[in-house]
Chain A
Amino acid sequence: MSMRIIPREVIVEKVADLCFKAAVDLPDDVYRAIKRAGEREESPIGKSILVNLVKNADIARQERVPICQDTGVAVYFVEIGTSVDMSQWDIYEVLEEATTLGYTRGYLRLSVARDPLEDRSNSKTNGPPVVHLKLVPGDKLKITLAPKGGGSENMSALAMLKPLAGKEGVINFVIDTVRKAGGNPCPPCIIGLGLGGNFEMAPFLAKKALLREVGERHPNPYYAQFETEILEKVNASGIGPGGLGGSTTALDVHIETYPCHIASLPAAVNLNCHAARHASIEI
């Protein structure tokens, strides 16, 4: 069977463009959700903020400037078809080069520190990115970029709950995380909730959950109902847009699950700001 060759420069160019597009074009589902929330919000400040966020997204789209100055760390979800010839390039190197090209060419902010502790100086390339790979059947390369800002990432949390804590334990953990976060993660947020797996998998599930469209429910009715229940409780917290009060603290809650150890109930909350940016290409 012949392997499909995808030239390195094609991937670099397309992914660099993707970096810019993700930074300036707010996805339609998020845009609509903010607009709808602005029509319903009763707190005057909350309403004012939501109306300004719609204005902000319009300016960014029309003038081709970043929606938010924190253009984030580039997080890639890559699906590589097993019939793609992977001996042609190293996908990690290709994505790092594309990230640097896209961020510098697009006047995006370089927000990566060289080292977490020893050397906090700016890497000046916005690299390296965070890359999640998945092998799938076929000869396509699908790349989703979800740039992630520091403000919302900093307020995310992981808990190893007791299995018998059940739904109530999960709700308490989510509400507690959202309360502690306050205005820091730029609410209204999108809440990614990863349940199950293990210590490192739950946060990955939570991050993956952020890629789902706003308003789209979990395919399992049990979790679909749970998403709605958590959303209502979060919005009853009163934190509101910008943390300045109101009924719009989250735009949506998305759950992803995986089986887990009989003794465990890992739960991870990954908060995303209202500038919930993501963009995909298939090559």
Chain B
Amino acid sequence: MVKHVSLPLTAEDVKSLKAGDEVLLSGVLYTARDAAHQRLCKLIDEGRELPFDIKGALIYYVGPTPAQPGRPVGSAGPTTSSRMDGFAPKLIACGLRGMLGKGGRSQEVIEAMKQYGCVYFAAIGGAGALMAKAVKSAEIIAWEDLGCEALRRMEVENLQAYVAIDAEGNSLYR
């Protein structure tokens, strides 16, 4: 059975999602990769405001292709999540409730997910054309200099994903 999940996530959403659930995500999410994560953590360390409200937010690890004319975004599948492992616990401690990417996560990330309540969703790696169909709008909200790696606000409707690691630490990866 497919679960419909609205973004941003509530604490109840996080609790109800279990590893193995197939989900369709709808609502607003934010996109960031390596460099944007480094900058987000630097802002937190300096006690400064983030470019978006991180409480309940979901970050999608993606660097889309440029949008063809008349489209909100180009191809938009996930990148390897483990590159963000060093930064994720700090963001989770600040209220991040969802992450969307591909591949396994470190034990440190899983511990933070359990402690603060956060879910890790796996998107379908390499299915960028399919996932772009679910993107209704995309706008750069910070760090345009990073090109495809800029921080974006994305509105999605029925974005296909799977709960890969739940907030109790259950994982589909072996």
Contact = CB atoms under 8 A, between A and B. Distances in A.
Interface of A: 45, 48-49, 52-53, 55-57, 59-60, 63, 65-71, 107-111, 122, 124, 149-151, 154, 182-184, 186, 238-239, 242-245, 273-275
Contact of A273 (B68, B125, B147, B173): B125
B137 interface: no
Interface stretch (B73-81, B88-96, B106-114): B73-81
Contacts of B103: 151, 182-184, 243
Nearest to A108: B65
A242 B125 contact: yes
A242 B130 contact: no
Contacts of A65: 65, 68, 71, 74-75, 128-129, 132
28 contacts: A45-B162, A49-B124, A52-B127, A53-B124, A56-B124, A56-B126, A56-B128, A56-B130, A59-B129, A65-B71, A65-B75, A65-B129, A66-B75, A68-B127, A69-B75, A69-B77, A70-B128, A109-B74, A110-B147, A110-B148, A151-B103, A183-B122, A186-B125, A242-B124, A243-B102, A244-B162, A244-B164, A274-B126
Contact of B68 (A107, A124, A154, A242): A107
Contact of B128 (A69, A107, A150, A244): A69
Contacts of A274: 126
Contacts, number: 139
Interface of B is mostly: loop
A183 B171 CA distance: 12
Given A60-B129, A182-B173, A68 B124 contact: no
A51 to B, nearest CB: 10
A67 B128 contact: yes
Q: Classify chain B's interface size.
A: 35 or more
B102 A151 contact: yes
A69 B74 contact: yes
B122 A107 contact: no
